[in-house]
């Protein structure tokens, strides 16, 4: 049924690894993405930030078609993901994804989590799959947990296994959907350092995150989204350090100053904190 | 505080009354029942001894075989119907829903009569493969599948959505993700209710009674009833009943254990 339509230049040209063109996505009447255009070059690390409900996770999920865009195009490595005739399973093999909730397979141990997709999807031999699994467990620093079950691991360890599981498929691109948001604060660091390692190895990464320090340090570019559009994007230092837009400034102020994020705006009046400012955007 | 009794006193009085009623009921039964006659009818040791070993080697064995064949057939069919029920193709969903409502709405006995009598009459020459065993597997399985399909569907839907997403993002096709990731987890979730279904089937296998079986094919209920009428005594029925309990009670305990463990894991 499925036919793979590969555009000519999948290697070595200056075509971006990820190209997003005029992307719209609605859930019923709710228009979550209102026209997104974004290019991500090979080896680039792009962090997508923005308030909840801004559409950043939906954007990420459109890249590997976990959400079907309402209109617009997405290309990954030159292949049009949004083409109805494309073999989406083949495309997804080249796109690793890491979820907020880890989504490890709880009925399998760590090694089996890493070998199952290799065996079933890539048809690798048992020995080869095991070798690749071991290799990637070492990469995320969990070689000693090969026989553990997900429930026996901490959140940070589970997320590192989830990263390793994505890596065993040899992806060209890695998508991270708030990879540290479900973690206790003391476990965030170990996951971020694995991601830093990947970035240093030259992996193309698209990261939806609230970790501003990670964005500032690791990202080549930061994209700020709000209300389903890209409000501002540019070098990390610029967007995070010297935002040009009011909405970006408000968001960063809220996220960097925890005191102002604790009470939502609707809890009017009871708070002693002074109002941030008069704007009511968002 | 308007009431004269404290809460503690009131609780004591309430419990005291409940115990008193219980003891009174026991005493009443003890006096009213004709124990000699009961023992005569139901607990003749010599008669009971004569039942062995046939009641185990033939009757209980057949009950187990009938149950297992019905269970396996029902499980496979139930899984297929559950998947049809969840299909994105509407006609599959309709067929599955009709099947489930149809077979859950009919007495199992009627299905047995249908399989055992109506089908051979309506289609002369057709043979259900496996003789009596095949008929039983079909009769029990058809009914069990309807219940198991609903259980399995619930189990599949209880697997978090992220599991399918993770599998799909790794390049699994929908079908392969179902087989390798979702269904193994769903079956784990439904083991306790499926074991309950097994207990129900174990008892329903007594409906074989209405199929007409050879001596060698008799299961516990038929066996007990036949011997009861041969000996004009009900002891065989009591023994057959005990044979059921030997299997069903431990199974029920296992279910309770599994459920407790599943609760803890949550």
Encode pLDDT of B103-148 as tens digits.
Answer: 999 998 898 888 887 777 777 777 777 788 888 888 999 999 999 9
Q: Do A117 and B170 touch (CB under 8 A)?
A: yes
pLDDT at A62 over 80: yes
User: Which H/E stretch holds residue A208?
Assistant: strand A204-208
The mean per-residue pLDDT over the stretch A80-102 comes to 95
Q: Which residue has the tokens 């179902």?
A: B178
| CB < 8 Å from B in window 109-138 of A | 116-117, 120-122
Nearest-Å Rg of the Cα atoms of chain A is: 20
pLDDT at B65 over 80: yes
What is the distance between the alpha carbons of residues B109 and B203, in angstroms, rounded to a whole number?
12
What pLDDT is attached to residue B19?
95
User: Which H/E stretch holds residue A62?
Assistant: helix A56-63
Going from the N-terminus, what domains does chain B have, and what CATH number goes with each? 57-265 (1.10.3720.10)
Tell me the angle at which helices B220-231 and B235-265 cross, rounded to the nearest 10 degrees: 160
What pLDDT is attached to residue A281?
39
Interface test with A, best of B159, B170, B177 (most A CBs within 10 A): B170
Q: How far is B94 from chain A (nearest CA, A)?
A: 26
What is the distance between the alpha carbons of residues B210 and B203, in angstroms, rounded to a whole number?
14
Q: Do A97 and B169 touch (CB under 8 A)?
A: yes
User: What ipTM score was computed for the predicted complex, to two decimals?
Assistant: 0.85
- Mean per-residue pLDDT of chain A: 88
Q: How far apart are the first and last CA of chain B?
A: 43
CA distances from B69 to A4, B74, B254 (A): 45, 8, 21
Q: Do B166 and A64 touch (CB under 8 A)?
A: no
CA distances from B22 to A1, B18, B28, B35 (A): 71, 6, 10, 20
Q: What b/e readout covers B207-238, taking b as 16+ CB neighbours within 10 angstroms?
A: bbbebebeeebbbbbbbbbebbeeeebbbbbb
pLDDT at B241 over 60: yes
Q: Which two tokens stand for residue A148?
A: 């553990």
Chain A residues in contact with B171 (beta carbon < 8 A): 89-90, 92-93, 117, 121-122, 169
Q: Which residue has the higher pLDDT, A259 or A211?
A: A211
pLDDT at A8 over 70: no
pLDDT at B47 over 80: yes
pLDDT at A173 over 80: yes
The mean per-residue pLDDT over the stretch B21-35 comes to 91
Contact yes or no for A276/A260 (Cβ under 8 A):
yes
Chain A residues in contact with B184 (beta carbon < 8 A): 107
pLDDT at A149 over 60: yes
Chain B residues in contact with A64 (beta carbon < 8 A): 169
pLDDT at A139 over 90: yes
What pLDDT is attached to residue B264?
64
Question: Could you tell me the strand order of the sheet in which A71-76 lies?
Answer: A30-40, A18-27, A71-76, A79-80
Tell me the angle at which helices B131-158 and B90-105 cross, rounded to the nearest 10 degrees: 120
Distance of CA A110 to the CA centre of its chain: 22
């Amino acid at each position: 049924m499925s036919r793979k339509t590969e555009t000519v230049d999948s290697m070595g040209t200056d075509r971006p690894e990820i190209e997003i063109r005029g992307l719209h996505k609605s859930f019923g009447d709710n228009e979550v993405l209102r026209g997104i255009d974004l290019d991500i070059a090979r080896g680039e690390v792009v962090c997508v930030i923005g308030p909840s409900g801004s559409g950043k996770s939906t954007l990420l999920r459109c890249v590997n078609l976990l959400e079907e865009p309402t209109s617009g195009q997405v290309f990954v490595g030159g292949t049009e993901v949004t083409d109805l005739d494309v073999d989406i399973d083949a495309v997804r093999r080249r796109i690793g994804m890491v979820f907020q909730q880890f989504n490890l397979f709880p009925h399998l141990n760590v090694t089996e989590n890493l070998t199952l997709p290799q065996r079933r999807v890539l048809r690798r031999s048992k020995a080869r799959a095991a070798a690749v699994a071991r290799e990637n467990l070492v990469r995320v620093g969990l070689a000693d947990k090969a026989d553990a079950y997900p429930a026996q691991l901490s959140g940070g360890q589970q997320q590192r296994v989830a990263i390793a599981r994505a890596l065993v498929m040899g992806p060209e691109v890695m998508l991270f959907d708030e990879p540290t948001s479900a973690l206790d604060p003391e476990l965030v660091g170990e996951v971020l350092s694995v991601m830093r390692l990947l970035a240093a190895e030259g992996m193309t990464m698209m990261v939806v995150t609230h970790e501003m320090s990670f964005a500032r340090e690791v990202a080549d570019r930061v994209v700020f989204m709000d209300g389903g559009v890209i409000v501002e994007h540019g070098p990390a230092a610029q967007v995070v350090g010297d935002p040009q837009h009011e909405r970006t400034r408000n968001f960063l102020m809220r996220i960097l100053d925890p005191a102002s994020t604790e009470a939502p705006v609707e809890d009017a009046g009871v708070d002693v904190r002074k109002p941030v400012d008069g704007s009511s955007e968002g | 505080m308007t009431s004269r009794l404290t809460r503690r006193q009131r609780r004591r009085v309430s419990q005291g009354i409940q115990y008193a009623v219980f003891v009174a009921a026991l005493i009443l039964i003890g006096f009213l029942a004709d124990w000699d006659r009961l023992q005569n009818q139901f607990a003749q040791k010599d008669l009971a001894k004569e039942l062995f070993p046939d009641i185990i080697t033939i009757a209980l064995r057949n009950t187990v075989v009938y149950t297992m064949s019905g269970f396996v057939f029902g499980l496979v069919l139930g899984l297929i119907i559950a998947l049809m029920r969840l299909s994105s193709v509407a006609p599959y969903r309709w067929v599955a829903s009709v099947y489930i409502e149809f077979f859950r709405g009919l007495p199992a006995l009627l299905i047995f009569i249908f399989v055992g009598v109506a089908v051979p009459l309506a289609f002369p020459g057709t043979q259900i493969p496996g003789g009596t065993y095949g008929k039983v597997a079909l009769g029990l399985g058809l009914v069990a599948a309807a219940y198991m399909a609903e259980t399995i569907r619930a189990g599949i839907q209880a697997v978090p959505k992220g599991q399918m997403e993770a599998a799909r993002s790794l390049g699994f096709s929908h079908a392969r993700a179902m087989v390798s990731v979702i269904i193994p987890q769903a079956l784990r979730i439904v083991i306790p209710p499926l074991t309950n279904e097994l207990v129900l089937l174990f008892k329903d296998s007594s409906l074989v009674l209405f199929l007409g079986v050879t001596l060698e094919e008799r299961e516990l209920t038929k066996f007990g009833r036949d011997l009861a009428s041969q000996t004009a005594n009900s002891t065989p029925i009591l023994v057959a009943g005990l044979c059921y309990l030997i299997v069903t009670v431990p199974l029920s305990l296992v279910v309770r254990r599994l459920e407790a463990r599943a609760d803890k894991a949550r």
